[in-house]
Structure 1
Amino acid sequence: MQLNTIQPADGAKHAKRRVGRGIGSGLGKTAGRGHKGQKSRSGGFHKVGFEGGQMPLQRRLPKRGFKSLNATFKAEVRLSDLNTLGVSDIDILVLKQAGVLPVVARDVRVILSGDITTAVNLKGIKATAGAKAAIEAAGGSVA
């Protein structure tokens, strides 16, 4: 292949439609615009969603809710989940790999739900007061 032999693919190029060029072209007289009305005139324009003056659909429907741009992806972990991991040093990455946390979770907190018997060391994870007491009673620590 040479630079002077490159061609567009078959069907990629086609002749531009020329409107208003007489009866024989098939697009003469009204030039494909139909008869009368705002859209047949030059400069005939209305914005997307315009319904001829009727209250548009997007304004007839009620407004509901919003999505905060400042929302952090919070997640909670039970003590019983920590007990089943079988790992002594626990951080967010360990919890995500074990499938306890969703991948998008950023702010993680351990809550007092279930019981814990193994000693675990939490690193970079918050814990409620009750959960912290239970972890320390089992011989673990919260850092």
Structure 2
Amino acid sequence: MNLSNLRPAEGATKTRKRIGRGTGSGLGGTSTRGHKGAKSRSGYSKKIGFEGGQMPIQRRLPKFGFKNINRVEYKPINLGTLQALAEAKGLTKIDVQTLIDAGFVSSKHLVKILGNGALTSKLEVVAHAFSKSAEAAIQAVGGTATKLD
């Protein structure tokens, strides 16, 4: 066996159905498109959301709510996560770059520290935002919570 005589396994490939090649082929005439109508014509493409003339779902359902363009979205990190990271790496200062290096956030995320979990180590935490409970918990063990601008 070599590259010049390689073939697909038996039954692995099918021959293409060549439609529109005369009546003798059995696939001429309407070329499997049926009679008349938009789908039988060349250039037909169904519009996105078209439901055969029935009122489409995006027009049946009412609009509601709005998207606040001024919303600032933060990536939440809990105190328990900070404690685990500090113990694993032996850190006393945790900033956004530390969290990026550890794989918790991406460099394009803003970070908010939340108060879920227990914090036992004295940590210096630098992030974009803090919840009140997180800030209180950090200060309760003698650490500092510094906000980035």
Instruction: Give the counterpart letter for 1:124 in structure 2.
Output: V
- Would the alpha carbon gap of residues 82 and 30 (structure 1) be closer, same or farther in structure 2, given more than 3 Å must change? closer
Instruction: Give the counterpart letter for 1:141 in structure 2.
Output: T
Q: Secondary structure at the match of 1:123?
A: strand
Distance 1:45 1:114 in 2: 55
2:125 paired with 1:123: yes
Distance 1:73 1:58 in 2: 31
* Structure 2 unpaired stretches of 5+: none
- Would the alpha carbon gap of residues 6 and 30 (structure 1) be closer, same or farther in structure 2, given more than 3 Å must change? same
User: What root-mean-square deviation, in Å, do the aligned CA atoms of Structure 1 and Structure 2 show?
Assistant: 4.5
Distance 2:66 2:25 in 1: 53
If you compute each CA radius of gyration, which structure gives the higher value, 1 or 2?
A: 1
Q: CA deviation at 1:120?
A: 0.7
The 5 A counterparts of 1:63-82 are 63=63, 72-78=73-79, 81=80
The 5 A counterparts of 1:103-142 are 103-104=104-105, 106=109, 107-111=111-115, 118=120, 120-125=122-127, 126-127=129-130, 132=135, 135-136=138-139, 138-142=141-145
The 5 A counterparts of 1:20-31 are 20-22=21-23, 24-31=24-31
- Would the alpha carbon gap of residues 83 and 41 (structure 1) be closer, same or farther in structure 2, given more than 3 Å must change? closer
Between the two proteins, what is the percent identity of the paired residues? 37
Distance 2:136 2:48 in 1: 60
1:18 aligned residue = 19
Residues 21-47 of structure 1: CA deviation (Å, up to 9, x unaligned): 11x311122221112222223455542
Preserved CA contact (<8 Å) 2:83 2:121 = no
What is the aligned length? Answer: 131
- Would the alpha carbon gap of residues 128 and 55 (structure 1) be closer, same or farther in structure 2, given more than 3 Å must change? closer
Q: CA deviation at 1:138?
A: 3.6
Distance 1:83 1:31 in 2: 66
Distance 2:137 2:82 in 1: 12
2:92 aligned residue = 89
Distance 1:82 1:51 in 2: 49
Distance 1:67 1:6 in 2: 62
